[in-house]
């Protein structure tokens, strides 16, 4: 079979092979493809007819026509733990924004806001580390994350963001704790030299806060690259917008949480951050949910749709409460909690949408088939058909 | 540190000056890009010619035996036995425990005898530009003769599954042994944060079991859905192209076991030439639907190390029709993330500016 000596057009084939060669004289079962009727039986509302007219005019086309291997998924579903990983995205965002708020509050005479932001950042960063390690299949090997540095791996870059970030934020929060008398009393029993360092505490705290703030922004947005840089159709397609969604959602969460914890006299900046974040998030997620045709569909359906609708309600009402009643403590608290809840549900909804887009092969086949046809059409118009069909030929 | 890098060649400066980065596109010397010295072995690969696959699954068995892979059912659940209930395919998919997977696709088509039919949906849908009815005055005489033989056979057949007379229907089976593609631009390798995945001196992509910490990033990064996590173990597993056998000068187990030479192993250059010749032969025999999948180095993953001769569209076999390595778009993502991060700092900073409300 291999490397036949003669590959002339006809007549030179080994005797008896030609009629028996699979495919000889056969065409693809046009309109009669058995894989589709089967699929229709097993899945409600499956595509009809043959493959080929895999067209999708607009978003929310319910049944795109395409072929698949018995309706099985093509790309693998992420094995990341749910809801641990989306909650990690939320905590990373909240911590990232809080750390920047904390550092600026330190130097603008807002001690309560600085304290609360540093506590939020420290706690959320430590929570992030725990969740990330817990998600590993081999948690005892978490230090392997720092074995190499690869710009092509958002998780590698993220490890080099999270490590210093969590160190700085927990240092700032830790110094804050040591400034409390009872904590210092207990700590001094273990480490007797600590009280002697007390004079350096403000400097250590401020330095740590500045260090944390330097990594705060990247900490909040790298997680969007983490999920977008996959073959998961609905995540990858939205790769240009997800970082902005995550940045906006992070500001809403970090601003909201610190505003909720801080008296209104000092929490003004946190409220402003939260409101700007909401505006950014809502603007960016618009394209994610509506701009990608078939691949926007998973953001509306099932669990993802429910979560994202709830997220939008929480975010919008949280923003409204913060904007209208944020100058009263109760308004700040309610608004902040709603904003944080909206942020966590946004991350969970986006996560679920990606999961859903891996489970149906249409999200892989239809857009890719369309891309292929577009390329072929473009190449045909330039008169070079061989350039076009780059996958099969 | 060794000179061999587990990083993608993507960010190395381009020598040829053609592209700014090499996150995608043709890459003539993948091992060299990964840091191997010039005297590295030739890039090897698989050419899986599905036109001669008989669906015996010897490749699956040989692979499981050699690599001591655990049993799993058709959904990859380990230590479960279960029939897929859809065809002779009870392996179902590639995964952590199945590194070869033989797909079985049963297809039928109408035979336009004795009366030609017109206007059925789909009849005009051919990507070859030929009419659906293979018997046409335009076709050459040999093709007509072959088709008539097949139609004569079909006339004498009866298809119990549909209850229709075999006179207007023909059945064929497509069988294809799927495997890790060992891409030129491997998404799994690009995103691996530990360096557990690496490029071997043979140009293949292999997981180092003693390094992998089971972060699972490679699983959704693969555009073909090949690599997966073994849940009880926590690490990821995939085809190594029998790295252990290659280093000892042996062929991979699947290629050794294949009784029809459907799975051919060898130097990639040679396999590509062989595949091109085979395609020409099949086309000459009138198999218009034959095509090579993964052969083109200009595709979204820079061509693959394990490519296929298919008799139908890739998605019919469960392949993505136009896979693209996800890291191709990574520069745009990093740019957006950096802008987003800067926005956070900018927004927070501007929130602190201005009159302080009491």
Number of C-beta neighbours around residue A387 at 10 A: 15
- Hey, how many other C-beta atoms are within 10 angstroms of the C-beta on B71? 12
Q: Is B190 on the interface with A (CB under 8 A)?
A: yes
How distant is the Cα of B86 from the closest Cα of chain A, in angstroms?
A: 8
Question: Shortest CB distance from A100 goes to which of B194, B336, B348?
Answer: B348
Judged by CB atoms closer than 8 Å, whether chains meet at A251 and B220 is answered as no
Measured at the alpha carbon of residue B225, what is the angle toward residues A73 and A393, in degrees to the nearest 5? 95
Q: Which residue of B has its CA nearest to A247?
A: B340
**How many CB contacts within 8 angstroms connect chain A with chain B?**
432
Chain B residues touching A220 at Cβ < 8 A:
340-341, 344
pLDDT score at B107 = 85
**What pLDDT shows up at residue A66?**
86
Whose tokens are 């018995």? That residue is A70
Q: Test B120 with A31 for CB contact under 8 angstroms.
A: yes
Q: Are B333 and A76 a contacting pair at CB < 8 A?
A: no
The answer to whether the Cβ–Cβ distance between B108 and A9 falls below 8 Å is no
What pLDDT, in 10s, does the model give residues B334-357? 999 999 999 999 999 999 986 555
Radius of gyration of chain B (CA): 25
* pLDDT of chain A, 393 residues: tens digit per residue: 333 333 333 333 333 333 333 333 343 443 433 344 333 333 333 333 333 333 333 434 445 578 899 999 999 999 999 999 999 999 999 999 999 999 999 999 999 999 999 999 999 999 999 999 999 999 999 999 999 999 999 999 999 999 999 999 999 999 999 999 999 999 999 999 988 899 999 999 999 999 999 999 999 999 999 999 999 999 999 999 999 999 999 999 999 999 999 999 999 999 999 999 999 999 999 999 999 999 999 999 999 999 999 999 999 999 999 999 999 999 999 999 999 999 999 999 999 999 999 999 999 999 999 999 999 898 888 765 454 444 554
The answer for residues whose C-beta is within 8 angstroms of residue B29's C-beta and 6 or more apart is: none
Q: Read off the pLDDT of residues A175-220 as tens digits, 9 standing for 90 and up.
A: 999 999 999 999 999 999 988 899 999 999 999 999 999 999 999 9
Is B333's CB within 8 Å of A225's CB? Answer: yes
Closest residue of chain B to A141, computed from CA coordinates:
B213
pLDDT score recorded for residue B108: 80
What's the pLDDT score for residue A105? Answer: 96
Provide φ and ψ at B37, rounded to 5°: -65, 165
Identity of the residue in B149, B344, B358 whose CB atom sits nearest the CB atom of A250: B344
The shortest C-alpha distance from B329 to chain A (Å) reads 8
B80, B85, B86, B91: CA torsion to nearest 10: 20
CB contact at 8 A, B153 and B147: no
Helix, strand, coil shares of chain A, percent, nearest 5, are: 70, 0, 30
**Could you give the CA distance from residue A336 to residue A274 in angstroms, rounded to a whole number?**
8
Cβ contact A70–B341 (<8 Å): no
Residue A147, helix vs strand vs coil: coil
> Which of A51, A137, A235 best probes binding to B when mutated, by most B CB atoms within 10 angstroms?
A137
Q: What ipTM goes with this model?
A: 0.84
A152 and B327 in contact by Cβ < 8 A?
A: yes
Q: Calculate how close chain B gets to A152, using CA atoms only, in Å.
A: 5
Per-residue pLDDT, B341:
97
Cα gap A48→A282, rounded to integer Å: 37
CB interface of B with A, residues 114-173, below 8 Å: 120-123, 125-126, 130, 132, 134, 140, 142-143, 146-147, 149-150, 170, 172-173
How close is the nearest chain B Cα to the Cα of A381, in Å? 16
Assign residue B264 a region: left if phi > 0, alpha if psi is -120 to 50, beta otherwise? beta
- CB contact under 8 Å between B336 and A241, yes or no, is yes
Q: Do A27 and B277 touch (CB under 8 A)?
A: no
Q: What are phi and psi of B106, to 5 degrees?
A: -95, 130
User: How many CB atoms neighbour CB B28 within 10 A?
Assistant: 11
Does the distance separating the beta carbons of A79 and B229 come in below 8 Å?
yes
B317 DSSP assignment: G
The reply to whether residue B143 touches residue A225, judged by beta carbons under 8 angstroms, is: no
Per-residue pLDDT at A38: 38
The Cα B286–Cα A136 span in angstroms is 52
User: Taking CB atoms and an 8 Å limit, are A221 and B52 in contact across chains?
Assistant: no
Tell me the residue length of chain A. Answer: 393
B269–A contact, CB cutoff 8 A = no
Q: Which of residues 314-333 of B touch A (CB under 8 A)?
A: 314-323, 326-327, 329-330, 332-333
Tokens of A190: 């273990």
Give the pLDDT confidence score for residue A317 in this predicted structure. 97
- Beta-carbon-side half-sphere exposure of residue B235 (alpha carbons within 13 Å): 16
Rounded Cα–Cα distance for residues A65 and B174 (Å):
21
Tell me what the pLDDT averaged over chain B comes to: 83
Nearest CA to CA, how far is B331 from chain A (Å)?
9
Please report residues of B whose CB lies closer than 8 A to that of A70. 84, 86-87
- The burial of A384, by beta-carbon neighbours within 10 Å (0-12 exposed, 13-18 middle, 19 or more buried), is given as exposed
The confidence score (pLDDT) of residue A322 equals 97
Task: Identify which of B100, B107, B105 has the alpha carbon closest to the alpha carbon of residue B57.
Answer: B100
Query: Could you tell me the two tokens for B352?
Result: 């602190």
Helix (H) or strand (E) holding B273: helix B268-284
- Rounded to the nearest angstrom, the minimum Cα separation between B94 and chain A is 10
Three-class DSSP category at B198: strand
Question: Scanning every residue of chain B, which has its alpha carbon at the shortest distance from the alpha carbon of A216?
Answer: B341
- Interatomic CA distance for residues B293 and B309, integer angstroms: 6
State mean pLDDT over B129-149: 46
In chain A, the residue whose alpha carbon lies closest to the alpha carbon of B285 is A10
Q: What is the pLDDT of residue A381?
A: 82
CB pair distance less than 8 Å for B315 and A51: yes
Are B107 and A69 in contact (CB < 8 Å)?
no
Say if the Cβ atoms of B172 and A22 lie within 8 Å: yes
* pLDDT 10s digits, B38-48: 999 999 999 99
pLDDT surpassing 90 at residue B170:
no
Q: Residue B278 and residue A3: Cβ atoms within 8 Å? A: yes
Answer whether residue B127 shows pLDDT above 60.
no
Residue of A9, A153, A248 best to disrupt the B interface, most CBs of B under 10 A:
A153
């Amino acid at each position: 079979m291999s490397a036949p000596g003669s590959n002339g057009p006809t007549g030179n084939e080994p005797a008896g092979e030609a009629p028996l060669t699979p495919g000889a004289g056969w065409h693809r079962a046009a309109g009669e493809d058995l894989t589709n009727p089967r699929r229709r039986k097993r899945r409600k509302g499956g595509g009809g007819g043959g493959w080929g007219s895999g067209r999708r005019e607009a978003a929310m086309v319910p049944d795109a026509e395409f072929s698949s291997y018995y309706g099985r998924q093509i790309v693998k579903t992420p094995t990341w733990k749910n809801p641990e990983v989306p909650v990690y995205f939320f905590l990373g965002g909240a911590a990232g924004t809080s750390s920047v708020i904390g550092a600026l509050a330190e130097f603008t005479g807002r001690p309560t806001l600085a304290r609360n932001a540093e506590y939020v950042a420290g706690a959320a960063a430590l929570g992030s580390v725990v969740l990330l390690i817990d998600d590993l299949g081999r948690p005892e090997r978490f230090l392997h994350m720092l074995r190499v540095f690869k710009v092509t791996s958002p998780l590698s870059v993220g490890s080099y963001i999270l490590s210093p970030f969590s160190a700085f934020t927990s240092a700032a929060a830790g110094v804050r704790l040591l400034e409390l008398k009872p904590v210092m009393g207990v700590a001094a029993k273990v480490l007797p030299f600590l009280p002697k360092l007390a004079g350096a505490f403000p400097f250590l705290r401020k330095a740590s806060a500045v260090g944390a703030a330097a990594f705060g922004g990247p900490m909040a947005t790298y997680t969007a690259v983490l999920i977008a840089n996959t073959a998961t159709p609905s995540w990858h397609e939205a790769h240009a917008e997800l970082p902005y969604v995550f940045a906006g959602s992070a500001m809403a969460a970090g601003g909201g949480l610190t505003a909720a914890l801080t008296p209104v006299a000092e929490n003004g900046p946190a409220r402003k951050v939260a409101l700007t974040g909401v505006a950014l998030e809502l603007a960016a997620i618009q394209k994610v949910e509506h701009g990608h045709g078939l691949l926007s569909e998973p953001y509306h359906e099932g669990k993802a749709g429910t979560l994202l609708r709830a997220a939008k309600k929480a975010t919008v009402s949280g923003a409204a409460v913060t904007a209208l009643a944020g100058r009263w403590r109760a308004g700040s608290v309610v608004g902040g909690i709603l904003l944080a809840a909206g942020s966590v549900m946004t991350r969970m909804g986006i996560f679920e949408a990606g999961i859903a887009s891996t489970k149906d092969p249409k999200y892989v086949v239809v857009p890719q088939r369309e891309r292929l046809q577009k390329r072929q059409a473009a190449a045909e118009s330039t008169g070079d058909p061989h350039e076009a069909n780059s996958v099969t030929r | 540190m060794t000179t061999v890098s587990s990083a993608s060649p993507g960010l190395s400066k381009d020598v040829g000056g053609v592209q700014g980065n090499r996150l995608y596109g043709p890459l003539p010397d993948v091992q060299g890009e990964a840091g191997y010295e010039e005297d590295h072995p030739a890039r090897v690969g698989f050419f899986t010619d599905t036109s001669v696959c008989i669906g015996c699954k010897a490749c699956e068995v040989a692979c499981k035996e050699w690599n001591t892979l655990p049993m799993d059912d058709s959904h990859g659940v380990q230590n479960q036995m279960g029939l897929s209930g859809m065809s002779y395919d009870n392996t179902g998919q590639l995964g952590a425990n199945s590194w070869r997977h033989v797909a079985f696709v049963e297809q039928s088509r109408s035979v336009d005898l004795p009366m030609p039919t017109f206007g059925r949906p789909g009849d005009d849908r051919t990507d070859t530009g030929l009419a659906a009815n293979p018997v046409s005055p335009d076709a050459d005489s040999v093709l007509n003769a072959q088709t008539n033989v097949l139609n004569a056979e079909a006339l004498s057949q009866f298809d119990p599954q549909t209850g229709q007379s075999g006179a207007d229907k023909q059945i064929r089976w497509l069988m294809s042994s799927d495997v890790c593609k060992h891409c030129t631009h491997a998404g799994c390798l690009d995103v691996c944060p530990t360096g557990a995945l690496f490029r071997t001196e043979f140009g293949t992509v292999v997981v180092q079991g003693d390094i992998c910490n089971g972060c699972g990033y490679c699983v959704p990064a693969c555009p073909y859905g090949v690599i997966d996590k073994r849940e009880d173990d926590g690490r990821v597993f995939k085809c190594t192209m029998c790295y252990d056998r290659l280093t000892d000068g042996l062929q991979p187990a699947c290629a050794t076991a294949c009784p029809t030479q459907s799975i051919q192993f060898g130097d990639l250059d040679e396999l590509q030439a062989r595949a091109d010749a085979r395609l020409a032969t099949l086309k000459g025999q009138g198999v218009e639907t034959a095509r090579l999948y993964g052969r083109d180095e200009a595709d979204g993953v820079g061509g693959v190390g394990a490519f296929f001769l298919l008799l139908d569209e890739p998605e019919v076999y469960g392949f993505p029709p136009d896979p693209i390595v996800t890291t191709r778009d990574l520069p745009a993502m990093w740019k957006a993330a950096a802008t987003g991060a800067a926005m956070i700092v900018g927004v927070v900073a501007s929130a602190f500016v201005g009159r302080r409300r009491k």
